[in-house]
């Protein structure tokens, strides 16, 4: 798995209150923990996942064919069962256009 902050013709990055180096805004608990923004060069199958520090998938945010252009995908800090995940370091992973792009997120609470 490679770590990158650029998609095939654009970018992939996470942002939000739980993002490493980004101070918490004190937003309501319904606010997303992280938002992944990325661009695709062409319509392609894509999978966006949240991985725990040990590499296991805790949530699949999206698995679909996505059109070319800009996209946003938000993670609310919950796993596939709807339970809040424990504080710690997580990885947002985008698999698309033959590449794997990742961005780290820190959950503080």
Count of CA atoms in the C-beta half-sphere (13 A) of 56: 5
pTM for this entry:
0.71
- Over the chain (109 residues), the average pLDDT of each successive run of 10 is 36 40 34 86 97 97 97 96 96 95 91
In a domain, 75, yes or no: yes
d(CA 9, CA 39): 7
Domain count across the chain? 1
pLDDT for 40? 94
HSE-up of residue 109 (Cα within 13 Å, Cβ side): 8
Domain span at 59 = 12-21+32-107
Asked if the structure places residue 26 within a domain, the reply is no
Query: What gap in Å lies between CA 34 and CA 105, rounded to an integer?
Result: 7
What is the C-alpha separation between 103 and 19, in angstroms, rounded? 9
Examine residue 4 and state whether it is found in any structural domain, yes or no: no
For residue 99, the domain's CATH number is 2.60.40.4070
Is 63 inside a domain boundary? yes
pLDDT at 11: 40
Q: Is residue 6 part of a domain?
A: no
User: How many whole angstroms separate alpha carbon 10 and alpha carbon 52?
Assistant: 26
Residue 3 lies in a domain: no
């Amino acid at each position: 798995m490679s770590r990158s902050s650029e998609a095939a013709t654009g970018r992939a990055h996470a942002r939000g209150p739980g993002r490493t180096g980004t101070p918490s805004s004190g937003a309501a608990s319904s606010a997303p923990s992280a938002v992944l923004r990325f661009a695709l060069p062409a319509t392609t199958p894509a999978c966006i996942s949240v991985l725990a520090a040990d590499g296991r998938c805790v949530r699949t945010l999206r698995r679909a064919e996505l059109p070319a252009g800009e996209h946003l995908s938000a993670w609310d800090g919950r796993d596939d069962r709807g339970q809040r995940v424990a504080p710690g370091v997580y990885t947002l992973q985008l698999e698309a256009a033959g590449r794997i792009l990742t961005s780290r997120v820190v959950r503080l609470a």
